[in-house]
Structure 1
C-alpha cells in the first residue's frame, strides 16, 4: 500500500499500531526509529520507553474514537491519530537527566516546540491537505498546554490565543489519550486537570471556532478599510495577550496610528523556498532589506559571514528609516531562529507598525531542487544546517501570519482583516 492510501484510511476506520505507523512515516521522520531507545522517568512513565508509551497512547485514542470521541471523523480523525503518533517525536533528542527538587529525574524539556519545528519541513511531503498538516504540527507543539492552562487557572485570553493555533477539542482528546497511555501515581488528578481545561474552553466558547476574530470584527464597521486592517491586527494581539479587555480600548489606543502606519513584512524560510520571487510578486513597491545583498556589498559575495555586526547595524538603520517614514518594508532573510526574529519584530512594534510574517514551507525534496537551480544556491551542508536550526514561528510573533507553499501558493492565513 502506498503512503497516500494509508494516510487516507486514517480518516475512516483504520487503527494502525505504532510499528505500522513507523513503516509509513519513518522515512520522513527518522526520530521515530529512536523511540525504543529513549527512556522515560520511572515515576512519570512507569510503562517504559517512548515507543511503549506511544503505543499505549494510540490504544487509548482508538478506544476513545469508538466511544466518547466517535464524532471525530474525516480529516480531524487523521490529524488526531497523527498527532498521537508524533506528539513525543523530539524526545529522542531532548531527553536528559534533570535535577528536580533535589531528586534526579529523566525529562525532555521543550520537546513539544522542538518537535513541531522538526516536523514542519518534513511532513510537507505527505499527501494530506495543509489544514490537516497544520493541526498535526500544533497538536504536537501545544500538547502540554491543556494541563498548563488548567493549573494556572488561566483566563479567557490564554484560551483565545491557543484556540487560534489548534483545535482545542482535538487537543483535549489527544491529552486524555496521552494521560491514559501511561502508568503514573497521579493519573486521576491529571485527568481532572484536563476536565477543567475542557470546562473552561467550553465556557469561553473556544470549543470549536474561536469567537474572538468575529467578536472584534463587529466593533469596527465605522472605520476606513485601512484603519480596519490595523485595528483588527492590534486588537487580536492585545486581547490574546490579556493587555486590554475590550475592543473599544484598542480602537481608542490606536487612534494616532491607524490611518498612517508602516507595514513590516518578514520572510521566514529555508534557502530555495522562493522568498524573493514571492516578494517581487506581492510587494513590488516595498523597500526590501536583503541581508544577502548587504553581504555582497560589504564582502563581495553573498555567502561570506564577515563583518556580520556591521551588516546587521546597516540593515537596522535602513529599517528604522523606513519605519520612521511609515513606509512598506521587507526584512528579507531566512530568519530561522525565534530570538533573531524577535529583535526585528520588536523594533517594528516600537514604531507602531503592522507586522506580517510570511512563512515558507515546502517539501524538502522541492527545496533541494530549487536551491540547486538558484543563481545563488547554498551548499548542501549549509541547507542541512538551516533545517536543523529552523524554528517554526508562533502566530503571536506577528500581527498577520501567512504560510506559503510550493509555487508561491498561500496555504494558510491568520490575523488578516480582509480574510474574515
Structure 2
C-alpha cells in the first residue's frame, strides 16, 4: 500500500488539518527574496511549481508523494527561526535543520510513515537549500558526496527547483543556474540520484572521518576490537536486540550503571559521571581488543561522534545499530521496562532524534519494526 501524507491536498484542506500549515500564514519573508508574501503563499507556489515539473511527473507515485510532502514541510520551521534584523531584512537561519527535526517528529508521532520514506522526507527538508548554496562552500564536492549518502539528489534537485520557481524575486534565473551546476557536479561525482560508490565500507568511513581524505582512497583494514554501538529511543528494544544477537558479548549498558549508582536519568551532573565510568570500561575492552556492545540511546550525531572518536582511536571496527519501533509501541514497551522513562522525557528525546547517517560507522544497520 502506498503511503500518503494526506488525501486532502487542496490548500483549504491542508490548512484545516494541520496547525503547522496555519502557522505559515503568520510568518513574513524578506521581500527581496520573497516578494510573493508570507511562508504560506510561498509554500503554495512551491507545490504548484513542483507538480508542473516534467521530472516530477515522470516519478513513480510513491516518490511523488515523498517529494510533495517534503515541499509542504520544507519551510515548516521558519515560524520559529524568522528574525527581523537591525538593517530591516528578514532572515530565518537554521530553519532547514530545525525543520528536519520537526518533519521527523510529525511523521513519527502524528502521521506515521514507513521508516525509509520518512527519512527521505526528513533529509529533503534538511537539505532543500543546499543545491543553491553548494557551489559557495569551501569543498562543494565533499558536501555533495555527503548529501548523496543521505538523500536522492535527483529528488533534492527537483525540490530546490520548485523552491526557486515558487517565489517572486529578481535573481530567479541565477538560482536556477546554481541548481544546474549542482546537477552537473552530482553527475561528475557519480552521485546523481544515487550514493557515490566506495570500494569498501572502511573507505567510505575514512573519507567522512578524515577531512583531507580522497573518495578514491582505500585504507588498509587493520582493526582491533569490534564495537557494536546501539542507538535508539528508550523502549525501542535495544536490550532485546542485544539478547537476540550478542548474548555472549560483554555489554556496557548506561542504564544498568545508572541504576547501580542510583543516579536518576534527569540528573545531568550524575549522567556525566555515568558516561565517564562507561568510557573507562570501554577503554579496558579496547586495549585488550575485546569485542563489546555499547548500549545507550545515542540519539544525536554529536553524542555518537564523541564515542566513535574514542573507539577508532583504538582501531576498533564500529558497527552502529539503530533500533526503532512505532511511536505507540515505543511508549508501551517503555512502560514495561524495569526503569520507566517518563513519557514527557521520551517525547522530548523524540524531538531531538537524529537518525544515524550510513557513514557514521564502518557499518550502520537499521532495525525499524
Residue 302 of structure 1 deviates from its aligned partner by: 6.2
Q: Note the 1:119-198 alignment, pairs <5 A.
A: 119-124=103-108, 126=111, 128-152=113-137, 154=139, 156-198=141-183
Counterpart Cα distance in 2 of 1:114 and 1:392: 14
Per-residue CA deviation, residues 343-367 of structure 1 (Å, 9 max, x unaligned), is 2121112122222332233332222
Go from structure 1 to structure 2 and tell me whether the alpha carbon gap of 1:338 and 1:69 turns closer, same or farther (over 3 Å shift): closer
The yes-or-no answer on 1:93 pairing with 2:80 is yes
Go from structure 1 to structure 2 and tell me whether the alpha carbon gap of 1:327 and 1:129 turns closer, same or farther (over 3 Å shift): same
Residue 164 of structure 1 deviates from its aligned partner by: 1.5
Q: Could you say which residue in structure 2 is the equivalent of 1:373?
A: 336
Q: Could you say which residue in structure 2 is the equivalent of 1:415?
A: none
Q: Note the 1:32-43 alignment, pairs <5 A.
A: 32-43=21-32
Candidates 289, 310, 323, aligned match of 1:360: 323
Whether the aligned pair in 2 keeps the contact of 1:94 and 1:108 (CA below 8 Å) is yes
The TM-score, its normalising length taken from structure 2, stands at 0.88
Candidates 211, 214, 238, aligned match of 1:245: 214
Aligned residues: 367
Unaligned stretches of 5+ in structure 1? 217-231, 407-420
Q: Could you say which residue in structure 1 is the equivalent of 2:246?
A: 283
The TM-score, its normalising length taken from structure 1, stands at 0.78
Residue 341 of structure 1 deviates from its aligned partner by: 2.5
Residue 129 of structure 1 deviates from its aligned partner by: 4.3
Per-residue CA deviation, residues 22-46 of structure 1 (Å, 9 max, x unaligned), is 555x3xxx53342122222232222
Residue 153 of structure 1 deviates from its aligned partner by: 7.3
The yes-or-no answer on 1:45 pairing with 2:42 is no
Counterpart Cα distance in 1 of 2:105 and 2:320: 17
Q: Note the 1:286-297 alignment, pairs <5 A.
A: 286-297=249-260
Residue 57 of structure 1 deviates from its aligned partner by: 0.3
Per-residue CA deviation, residues 37-83 of structure 1 (Å, 9 max, x unaligned), is 2222232222222111111100100111xx35432222211111111
Q: Could you say which residue in structure 2 is the equivalent of 1:236?
A: 204
Whether the aligned pair in 1 keeps the contact of 2:204 and 2:359 (CA below 8 Å) is no
Counterpart Cα distance in 2 of 1:8 and 1:291: 37
Whether the aligned pair in 2 keeps the contact of 1:293 and 1:302 (CA below 8 Å) is no
